Structure 1
């Protein structure tokens, strides 16, 4: 029996608070609506004409290899995208999905109203984030704000309501993003995340740049500001810490190690052409190595869908890819069902649980 001083942990969804046990299988890093225009890349001259229209059978293969060369593809908040997302999240629900954690932050055109609509229409829990993306997508006014102002915005959105929908509370901080070297604005945002975590005990999600030094520096700044490592997620490690030794070294810090590009299997990674993007099988080998080191309670998985071409309606794998295709492969690779449940159900619930 609870005493009057005890508070049950909850998770703050866009439709209100629920118990952590209500979340079910959870994707911890996805996007339902956003714009990625800043990352447009010109296509190679030989195939530039393939990107002048939307999606066709003749060009979808090119878009999969050069997704950031299609201006239509990198806009994921138009009517085409919204219709596709409704369908895709519905399939996710049908195939056993319970919760999607939406990581769009200020600078990427967050749309709380749409996230709420998706949750209402599909029955899937949606948890929205708060905070800022990289400095390069912010306007000059935002770039000049103090750490205290960044902190106050997150505090308001977590405890009172989001600035773009005051009746909806954010459920975590993130994704807090940075480039390399980390810019002054981004350092202030990381420190503000550490301060708000120390006060509220909320979950934090970080987006590091594509440099193996970035995750370590982010956690240094975050913990110096008071943030707890056991409530921090380091995203995109499957395209950042490619050497197993680096991954295991980072895991010793105690954060959640998130491999969240499942479904992305390309021979030419446009945002870092010098690296070899891992396959899903290689991602599972990375997770297996973490599990073998006794760190299964610190692993998370997701897809980071942020462009049209990865949605089912546009020929992609969709939000259900991990649950329908990857989890059976995990069993074949020797993971136990208990380990799978910990990674996809228990760990997300623990990360998102708060008592304020």
Structure 2
């Protein structure tokens, strides 16, 4: 019997060309869906015939209610080895095996610097003026050399961002609940005693924590008010770590110099979302992990996951994650 597999949210329409799916021919029929479904009912109608789904990160939440609409589903594959938008307990109840793929932490670290540099040198405003015949130079950039980079989190991505900051000649400090003096020293970073102290000291504050109950809403209005009016906030982690309403207010009222984000509470970001037109805001459509090398790895290993499942020996299975940051 031929099984049916759908790849969801393939925005660039590359899933079927970046990996060799031919090894599954005869056993699995694969199709790619480029458009994002906002309705569970519409999505279930589209993929209700599928025994296998491949999802991209957290673009489409796989909830208990969606799983209940997909009685044929047996295998769910996500890019990366962690996906907070999959209800793993519900998947287990429905007899759905959940597998992941490897992921590189280099691309999101690199994109963090695209946002930092874009903000520091007003790249969007100056480029727009150049293309539209506007004034020749209208802004003053912020020097990275000699500035302080404040990292909220010093994990896989945070340490890479720290290393680049040091190469720019920045003073780097970091904070997280679990950060020790030893780990900070290992990476040549000063450990801040508190989040408040970190925010008060930073010229560029960059968020690199996992989303959990402890980190949700970690940076709200009181924290943003502690930042310098000349400071910038960058978030390439998860939107919910920063209170989005407070961030919008901070930008509108000039609590901080600007902000950059690759993550949003709702994705794709609605056309009328006020962050799209917020002053001094540099936003990107969640591109942190969207690189050719990463995608080739995702889809190649998705094929491997399917083959292993069909052979009766699933690989890279996902378990319920422990809370933490």
Q: Tell whether the structures are fold-level matches, with TM greater than 0.5.
A: no
Higher helix share: 1
How would you bin the TM-score normalised by the shorter chain?
A: 0.3 to 0.5
TM-score, structure 1 normalization: 0.33
Higher CA-based Rg: 2
